[in-house]
């Protein structure tokens, strides 16, 4: 009886299972078609560009250096007998001013001895000239036409003349050495370092001070290859005319807690490209850096002072100023067409700064350039533009 009930239960469970399976298979409704929604076009920020002619400003920096710097050397030896009050580091001096005086007694004695030798040579020459005249008379009395040079004392006269010339040269040298006991500079300048002082013995050729000229200072400005492309620099001998030489430079520096400006001029370039940095240096000259500006109270340019420089480049046609975010890798722009689809356009970068770039390319006035960032972009990709204004 129990086994019979068990079989009936199994049959019942199987029948129920088959019924549910049939109902699920034949009873479910047929799938209904649904319209596929188009992907949502991403929203991007765009700017409208206006190409125009503009003169680019090249920005660089450098350190102020002397235009002319030398070591002042003692040409003769001796003990330092006097020094000028301004003979100290930082002191200003005028051209020809005696900065340092060596003792002169030995050189005065040398001048006196040289003058004595000149006097002896003059006397010897006078005697020899008298002997020559006497020899000519004696030869004339002999009645011979052909005179003998030795008899006429021509070699002796030439020797006396040479002796006088040598004695005069010795006197000139002695007087020159006496003058050289007064050490001065050939230009107006300032003392960078002082190497000698009162009471010190100086041998000939000893350095006295390191000085520089104050009529002009200069700054070497590094220029990259891209910056060189925007400037008209003189790179060939004999190039003249506007935009080749004397390019104006505005220098900006900070001194005593304030920002100041100075005007300079590009006068030349270095003879070679720097092998370490691969840049070329242009040299800007600033005239009269220590002349006070009474109107502004501007300080002088100091040697070793760091300055930033701005140079006006050549005129660029169809230049486009854009935010820095508009420039894509490999110098590309994302430009929208009339149907708000992305077109990838290559451009040439004229100038790149922290917040903006200046480019040239096949971009027309009124074109919209994407400045937003997208993870994936393909040519012809639709977007929803949101205008943020116009490019400069």
The domain segmentation of the chain, as residue ranges, is: 44-53+317-390, 58-66+213-315, 104-180
Q: What is the radius of gyration, based on Cα positions, of the chain?
A: 46
Residue of 237 and 332 predicted with greater confidence = 332
Highest mean pLDDT among 28-37, 149-158, 178-187: 178-187
A 10 A CB-CB count for 226 gives 13
| Beta carbons of 193 and 89 less than 8 angstroms apart | yes
Between 104-108, 165-169, 187-191, 225-229, the lowest mean confidence (pLDDT) is in 225-229
Percentage of residues in the chain having pLDDT higher than 70: 82
> CA of 167: how far to CAs of 106, 108, 118, 155, 230, in Å?
18, 16, 5, 18, 65
Average pLDDT over residues 34-49: 78
Comparing CA positions, the residue from 313, 381, 280 lying closest to residue 43 is 381
Topology at the third CATH level for domain 44-53+317-390: 2.40.420
CB contact at 8 A, 336 and 46:
yes
Give dist(CA 332, CA 326) in Å, integer: 9
Name the pTM for this structure: 0.71
What's the chain's average pLDDT? 85
Q: Are the C-beta atoms of 258 and 252 separated by less than 8 Å?
A: no
The more confidently predicted of residues 105 and 36 is 105
- pLDDT reading at 86 higher than 90: yes
pLDDT number for residue 242: 43
Q: What is the pLDDT of residue 321?
A: 92
Q: Identify the CATH homologous superfamily for domain 58-66+213-315.
A: Efflux pump adaptor protein, beta barrel domain (2.40.30.170)
DSSP-derived 3-state class of residue 290? coil
Q: How far apart are the first and last CA of the chain?
A: 100
The pLDDT tens digits of the residues spanning 133-178 come to 877 776 666 655 566 666 667 788 888 889 999 999 999 999 999 9
Residue 14: in which H helix or E strand, if any? helix 2-27
Rounded Cα–Cα distance for residues 85 and 100 (Å): 10
Instruction: State mean pLDDT over 52-75.
Output: 92
Pick from 142-146, 165-169, 245-249, 327-331: least confident? 142-146
Distance between CA 178 and CA 146 in Å, rounded?
50
Measured distance CA(392)–CA(237) in Å, rounded: 39
Q: Which helix (H) or strand (E) covers residue 265, if one does? A: strand 258-269
Tokens of 266: 């590009």
Check if 44-53+317-390 and 58-66+213-315 are the same fold. no
Q: In DSSP terms, which residues pair with 297 in a beta bridge?
A: none
């Amino acid at each position: 009886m129990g086994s019979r009930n068990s079989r009936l239960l199994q049959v019942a469970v199987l029948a129920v299972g088959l019924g549910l399976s049939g109902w699920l298979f034949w009873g479910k409704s047929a799938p209904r078609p649904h319209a596929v929604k188009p992907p949502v076009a991403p929203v991007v920020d765009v700017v409208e560009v206006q190409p125009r002619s503009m003169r680019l400003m090249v920005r660089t920096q450098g350190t102020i250096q002397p235009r002319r710097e030398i070591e002042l050397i003692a040409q003769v030896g001796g003990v330092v007998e006097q020094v000028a009050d301004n003979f100290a580091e930082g002191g200003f001096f005028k051209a020809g001013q005696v900065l340092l005086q060596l003792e002169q007694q030995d050189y005065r004695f040398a001048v006196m001895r040289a003058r004595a030798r000149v006097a002896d040579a003059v006397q010897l020459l006078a005697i020899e000239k008298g002997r020559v005249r006497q020899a000519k008379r004696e030869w004339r009395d002999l009645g011979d036409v052909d005179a003998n040079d030795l008899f006429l004392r021509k070699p002796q006269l030439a020797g006396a003349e040479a002796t006088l010339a040598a004695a005069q040269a010795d006197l000139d040298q002695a007087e020159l050495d006496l003058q050289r006991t007064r050490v001065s500079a050939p230009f107006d300048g300032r003392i960078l370092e002082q190497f000698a002082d009162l009471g010190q013995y100086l041998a000939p050729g000893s350095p006295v001070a390191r000085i520089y000229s104050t009529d002009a200072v200069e700054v070497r400005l590094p220029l990259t290859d891209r910056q060189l492309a925007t400037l008209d620099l003189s790179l060939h001998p004999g190039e003249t005319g506007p935009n080749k030489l004397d390019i104006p430079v505005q220098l900006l520096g900070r001194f005593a807690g304030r920002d100041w400006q100075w005007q300079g001029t590009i006068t030349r370039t270095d003879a070679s490209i720097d092998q370490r940095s691969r840049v070329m240096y242009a040299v800007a000259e600033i005239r009269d850096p220590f002349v006070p500006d009474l109107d502004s109270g501007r300080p002088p340019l100091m040697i070793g002072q760091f300055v930033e420089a701005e140079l006006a480049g050549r005129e660029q046609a169809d230049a486009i100023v854009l935010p820095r975010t508009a420039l894509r890798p490999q110098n590309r722009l994302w430009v929208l067409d009339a149907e708000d689809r992305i077109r990838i356009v290559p451009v040439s970068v004229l100038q790149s700064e922290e917040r903006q770039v200046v480019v040239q390319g096949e971009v027309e006035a009124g074109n919209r350039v994407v400045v937003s960032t997208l993870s994936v972009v393909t040519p012809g990709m639709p977007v929803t533009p949101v205008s943020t204004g116009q490019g400069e």
